[in-house]
């Protein structure tokens, strides 16, 4: 095998990353992003499944409203997305699943790359690398502030390797370019389509998270919590607060009652739990009994079962708060993640495979993380079907942290990740 | 007519008052009190209806528990109540309704006297009149601290007048000796039996309340609020707070949530409302999630409708608080009163009738009061059937206020009230 | 006197009303409105006091933020307001007080007209009178939706009468064109300047409110509640809800706790109270412990003292809610009104004076209203200094109600009001 | 050494246990218990420190009220406690610390035995061992329901061993007979006196807790949480809820608000926390705004620091709830424990030492427990000063669980514990 692959493809990795960074798209609206990824994979000879063929449409969570979708669809068409592609994506069905069969017996290996951006206005500070290198976001208020532009580039780099080195490969490869990771909205829809059911090894991961130096990677992670994201809409009856206080049904009070009570959900002896009401809005005018209110909520638990406990308590609390103030409540589930328990056996696999990498300088057995990841649906499905799965980290300095308007990372981490993945592939094959 | 009647009966009035004071009985347990009243009325020639014949048993509210009833029944039997009388009263069916027909055409006039005592330990202070005159309560923790001993004496005095002056009377007289006025528990049961349905004029009242001098009476009152008294029992599941916090169903929190929310029931534009949680108890030990809790609640409103509004809000709040903490709630209705709107036309009737009284020195057209009175069920029934009704006050100094362990009043107010009532009777007749 | 004055000035009244309607300005930003009123009054010979000369700048409440003020000032200058006038108004000091001395002994009579518009987008429905008569608001999102355009026209009409009939007048006239009535923000600043201190009779009022037919007026009103409008800003500390829940200071919870507790402020036995939290917003993202929150609150009471009680309870509640969640709270007082108790003696004055009016067809002795009015500061000051004051209503049909995007009224009510006021003036003089 | 010591002393151990069981005394009122322990130790030749000489009086928590103390003191005097002893104990200063110096160089070893009983009425069921063996509690409502009678017997047995085998011992021995372990009230006062400051090895433990068979012991325990026990008394102002709602200061609402808010104290990322309000009472009568209320609270945290976090949040919450309802709050700290982290190195020490015991059949390296123990103050002080400490368990069947009216244990566990301790002593010495 040509050990210079990573070095040679690096300029392309950077070019992909930068053009993606310039054209960020929000979750379930990655029309142009999907199109560009898909065209590249098609060119390489992958069998691709796009949009409604890639995901189970009904399993998506937190799909944007119709007008927003339409606006972005029109924009994407204007940018050159072909109508035949748009047909498969229209209505927020984005993402690509690419299949490669090496036509020699071997394991089925899956990879996942998330492709969506965030509703953040990118800084125009002079010392911001994308700004002073000419690839700052061109979409106002949308930004690749979590590194998914890099993840996508990694996936494309890996695809090139597979296509180029087919002859020396065995088994089957499934490359998932997943929409709407932010908010835990997209992975379940991909998973429900069955792509992970027969995968023997599954790899995914994130650049950054912990600020390791470039070259350091973590073979596994510990600490992703199961979580559910939900919104509650309370609907009451407005009334003049001075003249007819008894005729109002106070939606603000229902939301306020719910908020204070949600934090009082009892602790669980089985492990940590979390609850947060991150946002609230209610009411229209000072002297009107508020007719409507809105809460953004997140539950977490160490395991899916513990999160389920918090969630069930939260649902009852919301309904009781509505009953308390005689209003109605509608609950939207807009995101969900499970816990991730990486297979420790992959620590050795990865560590040994990467020993010959020129890019990976150190493999940590595990990294402590927190927060939530919807790749958990994939890792758990793989493991439930007898496969092995891990969630890796790829080190880079992080001057500003994820989701910050000035978020940035060292671009060489992209090459490190590609090189790690192809060494894992090669390592896996050398086991044959 | 003999104008010296009141003067002549005064010693008897005082004797009655004092023996009643010495033997106080709580609401729905006035077995001995009922027996003594009934025997006296029977002797005078009244047709009497006792216990289950006097009230609608199922309409009683806040009936004491069985063991308490039994204990008091045995005590009453021991004190000499005849078994034939006890048969009609057993199980908390106390009170007497006495009918007198003057056998000459005339109006049907009703009077009501309440006869129950309070769960208060009477002071043994040397300067307390009942103490230093030898008629302090002989029942530990039970006391006539609201003057119903006087009310009963007034009723007996009036009965004597009616029996004695039958020849100069016309019409029909219904004298109600009502149990369980405290807590608004007894009047509805009497009323539901139908005694008030054909009454043309209805008089009741209270000694004291406002501290007018003896001799001053008020022909009507304004301000009694409709009210409902209820108890809420929450039942959850205990659990060790340290080891299994998630297994508890917290009845203390349900009660606390209910309490804070009850006070937030919206104001009503139609008139004043009130809500109070007067008592709360919950839990067993510091490290146990509380399994049970208890609230004593009172709602009030300017009218029956407004009180109903508060009550409905309160009920929903209690159920929602239970739902919030996944516990059960049982609500007991233990008392109820309606608003009282006295007939202004009786102001003239009373004022004129009392002009010739040697006891009544001044008739106020109305007195402002607050609080609640279950005589309201009677006044409203009379008025709904076309009759007239009033609630009067009979002045006395009040050094300590009603329901105080040292409550006392000037005994001459009893004679004033008797004389007012018989002048009203005579006045009514002179109108014929 | 020429009894045709009102008829003759009616076209002018309508013209004024319509141009004012087309150019609405929000409270404390009535720069152009003030200028136009002031120029007209100056022309008539009134001594005028503009802006900082008309009001006590520090007594204003709820003054808009600097950038908003500047924007509107520039607009007004562009529209032709002279710089010498702007100097007196800059920074939100709007309004005019106009003085006329008839130079013959007589009473000092005050009138008040409010001049501000509302932040409401006027309907463009075809059947909306201002739309189909070409004088719909030209300011997007600003509308005279409460009739203050009419009030201003009434004031100008009355000014014309005074100037024209000076010879037949006695005493002194103070005409107040008050800014920022909406939200109860402007009257106190005018009052604090002392204009009302020596007024013998004070008249103000409103067109509409109750839907009486045109021609019907009410001499007095009953029911305006004292009120205070306040905003609370809570400031806590953000933290990642999953990773560091213990490091957050939750401003959302502080606001929610405050809201639920504010409604539980105890009822007052002295008279009705009201409390409302009309608006709440808090938080930034689902998984962030909310750093900031905001409440819009209104307290009311039957009297200034009762409102003060509610307000003090509300302030303590807000501070306690902040303490509860370890955050800071800043309270802005953005509006205040007192109760209005009209002088009943003016009922006769007004009724008799208007008997000879061709426009006033019926004078109701009083109208029941609710809500709040900052003219209360003026009526109370006049009365505290020995004068008499009233708040009148001038009937008109009201198809949509005040503050509605399609609010409108019958323009002839303007003439009715002018005619009522000038008859009151004439009536007052004929008493001499 | 005589290996038959334990066998020979067993009848005495059982006699002590049973007489103690018959005469149980509550925490800080163990006057007679202290006297009996002290007399026995004095007889054996120990230097003893009693009452105020044994503990730091001001460091005691949750001391019973004066009248209760006096009553028990009189009872103890009546039972034969000498006045000279009572002088040192009066006012709730109970417990004994006994010192033995072997007068040969060696380690300083400390032991602690807790001696108090519980406010529980012992069952008189026929199948209850103490009942059918004639040593049921003679104090109504007081019971050794947690095995401290056995603990005391173990301590006396160990003291006998030390006295008897002095010649073969080295170093110094401190035997602590601690009062008021229940509620975590006594250990801190003993510790603050300095007894643990120079101890090299510290042993304490509990019979039961986990239901191991007799003969099985655990060398260490894991899981005791740091905790604080506190009571909150709210004091407001009563008022008639119907007549003067605005004059009340509602202590019930303050307590209810505190309760609901306490459970909402944020989770801590550092480890588990707990909060519980185990008991609440408030108010006097249905129509009275409650003047007083009371809460029993417990905070817990994995470590002293995390518990401190919960406690500080709880304190602020209580004060804010008081401020919210304009009442006063007084907080009593009635108990405190720290976490216990046993020295793992003692696992080997104990396991090896007990290999030659005829009583100990199995040594578990550690037992998982929960709940709280105030011996933590002692273990932490020893460890902070460079010593080693452990908290052991001594197995016994537990048909009813601790604190149950029918609690009982297998008496042979006492001999097992004595034999374990003396083997540890001998093992320690054989190390020299």
* Contact: B261, A324; criterion CB under 8 Å: yes
C429 Cβ contact list (under 8 Å, min separation 6) = C106, C168, C169, C170
pLDDT (tens digit per residue) in C61-84: 999 999 999 999 999 999 999 999
Contacts of residue A225 in chain C, CB cutoff 8 Å?
Answer: 242
If one compares D223 and D46, the residue with the highest pLDDT of the two is D46
Based on the fold, state whether residues C205 and C233 are members of the same structural domain: no
Residue B299 is inside which H or E element, if any? strand B292-301
Find the mean pLDDT for residues C222-241: 92
Among A30-34, A168-172, B34-38, B326-330, name the one with the lowest average pLDDT.
A168-172
Based on the fold, state whether residues C264 and C353 are members of the same structural domain: no
Number of domains in chain D: 2
Terminal-to-terminal C-alpha distance of chain D: 16
Structure tokens belonging to residue A338: 């499970």
pLDDT (tens digit per residue) in C98-137: 999 988 889 999 999 999 999 888 988 899 999 999 999 9
Chain C residue with CA closest to B370: the answer is: C269
Any domain includes C431: no
Angle at C68 between CA C64 and CA C74, to 5 degrees: 130
pLDDT (tens digit per residue) in B136-148: 999 998 999 999 9
Q: Is the pLDDT of residue D3 over 80?
A: no
Q: Is the pLDDT of residue D288 over 80?
A: yes
Residue A316 is inside which H or E element, if any? helix A304-324
* Contact: A264, D266; criterion CB under 8 Å: no
Contacts of residue C277 in chain A, CB cutoff 8 Å?
Answer: 252-253, 283, 290
* Cβ–Cβ pairs < 8 A, chains B and D: 147
Structure tokens belonging to residue C235: 């400031």
Query: Who among A267, A309, A323 is closest to B320 (CB)?
Result: A323
The enclosing domain of B49 has a CATH number of 3.40.630.10
Based on the fold, state whether residues B174 and B52 are members of the same structural domain: yes
- Mutate: best of D228, D286, D293, D297, partner B, most B CBs <10 A: D286
CA D308, chain centre distance (Å): 21
Q: How confident is the model at residue D55 (pLDDT cuts 50, 70, 90)?
A: very high
CB B109 within 8 A of CB B172: yes
Alpha carbon distance D403, D405 (integer Å): 7
Q: How confident is the model at residue C428 (pLDDT cuts 50, 70, 90)?
A: low
Any domain includes D432: no
Supply the pTM of this predicted model. Answer: 0.85
Query: Who among A269, A319, A321 is closest to B245 (CB)?
Result: A269
SS3 A223: coil
The answer to whether A146 is a known ligand-binding residue is: yes
Identify the residue whose tokens are 């994407």: A76
**A-contacting chains (≥3 CB pairs under 8 Å):** B, C, D
Based on the fold, state whether residues C216 and C245 are members of the same structural domain: no
CB D294 within 8 A of CB D280: yes
Q: How confident is the model at residue B3 (pLDDT cuts 50, 70, 90)?
A: low
Any domain includes A432: no
Q: How confident is the model at residue A432 (pLDDT cuts 50, 70, 90)?
A: very low
Chain D residue with CA closest to A274: the answer is: D267
Q: For residue B113, what are the β-bridge partners?
A: B177
Any domain includes A114: yes
Q: What is the pLDDT of residue A417?
A: 96
Contacts of residue C263 in chain B, CB cutoff 8 Å?
Answer: 263-264, 266
* CB neighbours of residue C68 within 10 Å: 14
Residue C280 near chain A (CB below 8 Å): yes
Q: How many percent of chain B have pLDDT more than 90? A: 84
Q: What is the pLDDT of residue D349?
A: 93
Structure tokens belonging to residue A311: 């969630």
Identify the residue whose tokens are 């014929």: B432
Structure tokens belonging to residue D166: 């002095």
D430 Cβ contact list (under 8 Å, min separation 6) = none
Residue C372 near chain A (CB below 8 Å): yes
The residue from A319, A336, A353 where one domain ends is A336
Q: Is the pLDDT of residue D258 over 50?
A: yes
CB B150 within 8 A of CB B113: no
The residue from B299, B316, B336 where one domain ends is B336
Find the mean pLDDT for residues D239-256: 91
* CB neighbours of residue D4 within 10 Å: 9
Q: What is the pLDDT of residue C430?
A: 47
* CB neighbours of residue B155 within 10 Å: 29
SS3 A186: coil
Q: How confident is the model at residue C190 (pLDDT cuts 50, 70, 90)?
A: very high
Any domain includes B431: no
**Cα dist from C317 to C280, C331, D238, whole Å:** 16, 12, 20
Based on the fold, state whether residues B22 and B147 are members of the same structural domain: yes
Q: How confident is the model at residue C432 (pLDDT cuts 50, 70, 90)?
A: very low
Q: What is the pLDDT of residue D429?
A: 55
Q: For residue D358, what are the β-bridge partners?
A: none
Q: Is the pLDDT of residue D431 over 80?
A: no
* Contact: B278, D283; criterion CB under 8 Å: yes
Based on the fold, state whether residues B12 and B140 are members of the same structural domain: yes
Written in H, E and C, the secondary structure of chain C is: CCCCHHHHHHHHHHHHHHHHHHCCCECCCCHHHHHHHHHHHHHHCCEEEEHHHCCCHHHCCCCCCHHHHHHHHHHHHHHCCCHHHHHHHCCCCCCEEEEEECCCCCCEEEEEEECCEECCCCCCCCCCHHHHCCCCCCCCCCECCCCHHHHHHHHHHHHHHHHHCHHHCCCEEEEEEECCCCCCCCHHHHHHCCCCCCCCEEEEEEECCCCCCCCEEECCEECCCEEEEEEEEEECECEECCCCHHHCECHHHHHHHHHHHHCCCCCCCCCCEEEEEEEEEEECCCCEECCEEEEEEEEEECCHHHHHHHHHHHHHHHHHHHHHCCCEEEEEEEEEECCCCCCCHHHHHHHHHHCCCCCCCEEECCEECCCCCCCHHHHHHHHHCCCEEEEEEECCCCCCCCCCCCCCCCCHHHHHHHHHHHHHHHHHHHCC
The alpha-carbon gap from D230 to the nearest alpha carbon of chain B, in Å, equals 9
**Cα dist from A15 to A6, A156, A164, C314, whole Å:** 14, 11, 19, 60
CA D97, chain centre distance (Å): 15
Based on the fold, state whether residues B306 and B158 are members of the same structural domain: no
User: Which ranges of B240-394 would DSSP assign to H, the alpha helix?
Assistant: 251-262, 304-324, 345-353, 376-384
- Mutate: best of A229, A254, A279, A295, partner C, most C CBs <10 A: A279
* Contact: A260, C257; criterion CB under 8 Å: yes
Residue B303 near chain A (CB below 8 Å): no
Contacts of residue B264 in chain C, CB cutoff 8 Å?
Answer: 260-261, 263-264
Average pLDDT taken over every residue of chain C: 93
Burial of residue A138 (number of CB atoms within 10 Å: 0-12, 13-18, 19+): exposed
The answer to whether D403 is a known ligand-binding residue is: yes
CB B226 within 8 A of CB B337: yes
Average pLDDT taken over every residue of chain D: 93
C324 Cβ contact list (under 8 Å, min separation 6) = C253, C254, C257, D261, D316, D317, D320, D321, D324
Residue D371 near chain B (CB below 8 Å): yes
Q: Which domain holds residue C352?
A: 5-223+340-426
Question: Looking at A65-122, which runs of residues are DSSP E strands?
Answer: 96-101, 108-114
Nearest in space to D231 (alpha carbons), one of D272, D190, D192, D185: D185
Q: What is the pLDDT of residue D430?
A: 47
Q: Is the pLDDT of residue B373 over 50?
A: yes
Exposure string of D269-305, with b = 16+ CB inside 10 Å and e = fewer, is beebbbbbbbbbbbbebbbbbbbbbebbbbbbbbbbe
The answer to whether C146 is a known ligand-binding residue is: yes
Terminal-to-terminal C-alpha distance of chain A: 16
Based on the fold, state whether residues C288 and C310 are members of the same structural domain: yes
pLDDT (tens digit per residue) in D116-156: 999 888 989 999 999 999 999 999 989 999 999 999 999 99
Find the mean pLDDT for residues C220-238: 93
Query: Who among C243, C297, C372 is closest to A370 (CB)?
Result: C243
C224: left (phi over 0), alpha (psi -120 to 50) or beta: beta
CA B338, chain centre distance (Å): 13
CA A289, chain centre distance (Å): 39
The alpha-carbon gap from C263 to the nearest alpha carbon of chain B, in Å, equals 5
The alpha-carbon gap from B341 to the nearest alpha carbon of chain A, in Å, equals 24
Angle at D373 between CA D372 and CA D378, to 5 degrees: 140
Q: What is the pLDDT of residue B428?
A: 59
Structure tokens belonging to residue C51: 């802006």
Q: How confident is the model at residue A223 (pLDDT cuts 50, 70, 90)?
A: confident
**Cα dist from C380 to A325, C198, C254, C313, C342, whole Å:** 39, 12, 37, 24, 9
Alpha carbon distance A126, A114 (integer Å): 28
Contacts of residue D257 in chain C, CB cutoff 8 Å?
Answer: 261
Query: Who among B246, B257, B267 is closest to A266 (CB)?
Result: B246
CB A181 within 8 A of CB A148: yes
Residue D198 is inside which H or E element, if any? none
Based on the fold, state whether residues D181 and D233 are members of the same structural domain: no
Q: What is the pLDDT of residue A103?
A: 86
Any domain includes A322: yes
The residue from A312, A336, A360 where one domain ends is A336
Q: Is the pLDDT of residue B277 over 80?
A: yes
Angle at B120 between CA B114 and CA B122, to 5 degrees: 100
| Cβ under 8 Å to A: D residues 237-266 | 260-261, 263-264, 266
Alpha carbon distance C54, C198 (integer Å): 16
Find the mean pLDDT for residues D69-78: 95
pLDDT (tens digit per residue) in B346-362: 999 999 999 999 999 99
Q: Is the pLDDT of residue C17 over 50?
A: yes
pLDDT (tens digit per residue) in A109-151: 999 999 999 988 898 999 999 999 999 999 998 999 999 999 9
The alpha-carbon gap from D333 to the nearest alpha carbon of chain C, in Å, equals 20
CA A73, chain centre distance (Å): 21
The enclosing domain of A249 has a CATH number of 3.30.70.360
Query: Who among B260, B269, B273 is closest to C260 (CB)?
Result: B260
Residue B301 near chain D (CB below 8 Å): no
Residue B131 near chain C (CB below 8 Å): no
Find the mean pLDDT for residues D310-315: 96
Q: Is the pLDDT of residue D230 over 50?
A: yes
Q: How many percent of chain A have pLDDT more than 70? A: 98
The answer to whether C206 is a known ligand-binding residue is: yes
Q: What is the pLDDT of residue B429?
A: 55
The strand pair at D273-283 and D292-301 is best described as: antiparallel
Query: Who among B260, B269, B273 is closest to C267 (CB)?
Result: B273
The alpha-carbon gap from D58 to the nearest alpha carbon of chain B, in Å, equals 24
Any domain includes A346: yes
pLDDT (tens digit per residue) in D354-370: 999 999 999 999 998 87
pLDDT (tens digit per residue) in C297-352: 999 999 999 999 999 999 999 999 999 999 999 999 999 999 999 999 999 999 99
Any domain includes C124: yes
Based on the fold, state whether residues C120 and C52 are members of the same structural domain: yes
Q: Provide the CB-side half-sphere exposure for B227 (13 A, CA).
A: 28
CB D195 within 8 A of CB D131: no
Based on the fold, state whether residues A103 and A252 are members of the same structural domain: no
Alpha carbon distance D373, D394 (integer Å): 16
Based on the fold, state whether residues C153 and C115 are members of the same structural domain: yes
Q: What is the pLDDT of residue D355?
A: 92
Structure tokens belonging to residue B181: 């006025």
Among A334-348, A353-367, D123-137, D236-250, name the one with the lowest average pLDDT.
D236-250
| Cβ under 8 Å to B: D residues 174-193 | 183
Query: Who among C183, C241, C260 is closest to A298 (CB)?
Result: C241
């Amino acid at each position: 095998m040509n050990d210079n692959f990573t070095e040679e493809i690096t300029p392309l990795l950077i070019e992909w990353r930068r053009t993606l960074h310039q054209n960020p798209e929000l979750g379930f609206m990655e029309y142009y992003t999907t199109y560009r990824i898909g065209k590249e994979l098609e060119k390489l000879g992958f069998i691709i499944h796009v949009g409604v063929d890639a995901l189970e449409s009904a399993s998506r969570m937190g799909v944007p409203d119709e007008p927003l979708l339409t606006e972005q669809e029109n924009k994407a068409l204007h940018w050159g997305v072909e109508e035949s592609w748009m047909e498969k994506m229209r209505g927020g069905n984005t993402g690509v699943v690419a299949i490669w069969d090496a036509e020699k017996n071997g394991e089925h290996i899956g990879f996942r790359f998330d492709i969506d951006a965030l509703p953040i206005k990118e800084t125009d500070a002079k010392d911001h690398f994308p700004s002073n290198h000419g690839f700052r976001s061109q979409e106002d208020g949308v930004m690749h502030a979590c590194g998914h532009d890099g993840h996508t580039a990694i996936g494309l780099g890996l695809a090139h390797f597979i296509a180029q080195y087919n002859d020396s490969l065995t088994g089957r490869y499934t490359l998932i370019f997943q929409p709407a990771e932010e908010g835990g909205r997209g992975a379940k829809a991909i998973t429900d389509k069955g792509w992970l059911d027969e995968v023997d090894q599954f790899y995914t991961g994130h650049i950054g998270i912990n600020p390791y130096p470039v070259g350091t990677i973590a073979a596994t992670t510990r600490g992703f919590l199961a979580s559910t994201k939900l919104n509650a809409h309370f609907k009451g009856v407005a009334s003049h607060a001075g003249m007819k206080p008894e005729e109002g049904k106070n939606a603000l009070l229902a939301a306020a009652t719910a908020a204070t009570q949600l934090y009082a959900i009892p602790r669980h002896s089985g492990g940590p739990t979390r609850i947060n009401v991150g946002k609230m809005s209610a009411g229209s005018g000072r002297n009107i009994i508020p007719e409507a209110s809105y809460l953004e909520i997140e539950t977490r638990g160490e395991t899916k079962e513990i999160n389920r406990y918090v969630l069930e308590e939260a649902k009852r609390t919301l309904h009781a708060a509505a009953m308390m103030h005689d209003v109605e409540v509608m609950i939207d589930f807009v995101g969900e993640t499970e816990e991730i328990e990486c297979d420790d056996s992959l620590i050795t696999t990865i560590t040994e495979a990467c020993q010959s990498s020129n890019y990976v300088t150190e493999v940590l057995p595990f990294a402590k993380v927190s927060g939530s990841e919807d790749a958990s649906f994939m890792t758990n499905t793989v493991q439930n079907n007898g496969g092995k799965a891990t969630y890796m980290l790829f080190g880079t300095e992080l001057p500003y942290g994820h989701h910050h308007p000035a978020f940035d990372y060292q671009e060489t981490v992209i090459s490190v990740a590609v090189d790690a993945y192809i060494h894992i592939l090669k390592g896996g094959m050398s086991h044959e």
